[in-house]
Copies of this chain bind each other. A is one copy, B any other.
Amino acid sequence: MSASAAARLPVIEVFGPTLQGEGRMIGRRTMFVRLAGCDWACSWCDTPYAWRPGALAPVERLGPEDLLRRLGALGPDCRRVTLSGGNPALHDCGPLVGALHEGGYLVHVETQGSRAPAWLGAVDTVTVSPKGPSSGMAPDWPGLGATLAVAADPDLKVVVFTEEDLAYAAEVGRRHPGVPLTLQAGNRVGEDDADSLLARLRWLADRALGLEGMGDVRVLPQLHVLLWGNRRGV
């Protein structure tokens, strides 16, 4: 395999500029590159078309130059790119991150904390989003610790649907007290609308504000879903 073939990434979609809907970058104007493939299979995943057998969207193999060309055409004045998935940490995104930086972009990555490739250390900001009990996934504490150790400027985000998820989030906070923690109200694609999402956010805010050990927590919705529902490409 040639060097350029190795640098090609399996791309599901490139879109934006839109608003970052989640985490500490919430509301920021950014473009997105969504990569195919995931090592987990969360029951409530909101992007199954990036990985689920039978639901997978068409995949294009694109190199850094291809992606820079597309991003430049989409948002000539937008200087932020978010790499998401699936789990982008499955791939060697090092060459892409280098090319984006050379192109003057700030790079944000979203990953669940199961893989800790060295290139995460070169990214500007990394949101690590381990999954609670309602996802059906078992905790991967060593993977989470390794990802937080390699990421240059990590923050943590835990999606919460249930009391068990909230207890899990508190445990994440206890294990990693130095990393900013955001609790995100869960979203079931095909079931939730703005009203039910706001109701869950209200419950989560009330619980988190009163919970022991939630000293410096942040509570946020998925802003893009409140705005545009569970549509692709926004």
Contacts and interface: CB of A to CB of B under 8 A. Distances in A.
B205 A19 contact: yes
A43 to B, nearest CB: 25
Interface string A200-234: 01100100110011111111110100111000000
Given A17-B209, A209-B17, A29 B202 contact: no
A209 B228 CA distance: 14
A227 B205 contact: yes
Interface residues of A, number: 34
Contacts of A102: none
Number of copies: 2
A224 to B, nearest CB: 9
Contacts of A29: 208-209, 214-219
B215 A198 contact: no
11 contacts: A26-B27, A27-B220, A29-B208, A29-B214, A77-B214, A78-B215, A194-B195, A198-B227, A202-B228, A205-B227, A221-B226
Contacts of A223: 220-221
A182 interface: yes
Contact of A202 (B214, B221, B227): B227
Nearest to A208: B29
Interface of A is mostly: mixed
Contacts of A79: 215-216
A27 B204 CA distance: 11
A80 interface: yes
Given A27-B218, A201-B226, A202-B228, 9 more contacts: A19-B219, A27-B182, A27-B219, A28-B216, A29-B208, A29-B209, A202-B227, A205-B227, A220-B223
